[in-house]
Structure 1
């Protein structure tokens, strides 16, 4: 049995948890560098931040079918299709 390390970091947008990133050293067997935990944490926040706008846009497009956001939202969502 081999031993190594693994890290997990949240993908988040503000306080909202969107997912979790995990990494390990199974393939390369390299020791963890001092900066890697912080780098993974920052990457998780960045990815979570970038994933949030498409989710918000899709929820607006779904709601625009009900008239909740008006005519301008329906035109915006149709132009994206």
Structure 2
């Protein structure tokens, strides 16, 4: 099943911790992509967030993938799927 995940910074201006977590999340999504769970990861040009398309077996798998993202404490996250 495909899910769209949209993350944006909770605050503006973006705190320095967000940038570190954002970079770590890019690496995390790369690992999920190697496992076939991420079809697309695209950071926003403003670096205040990004979007991901997950290809997972269930809603629980999507939630689990999001829960592992280092950016989670700093971001508002929306999960859109079937």
In the superposition, the TM-score normalised over structure 2's length comes to 0.30
- Identify, as 1 or 2, the structure richer in strand: 2
In the superposition, the TM-score normalised over structure 1's length comes to 0.30
Q: Which has the larger radius of gyration?
A: 1
Say which structure, 1 or 2, has more relative contact order (CA 8 Å, 6+ apart).
2
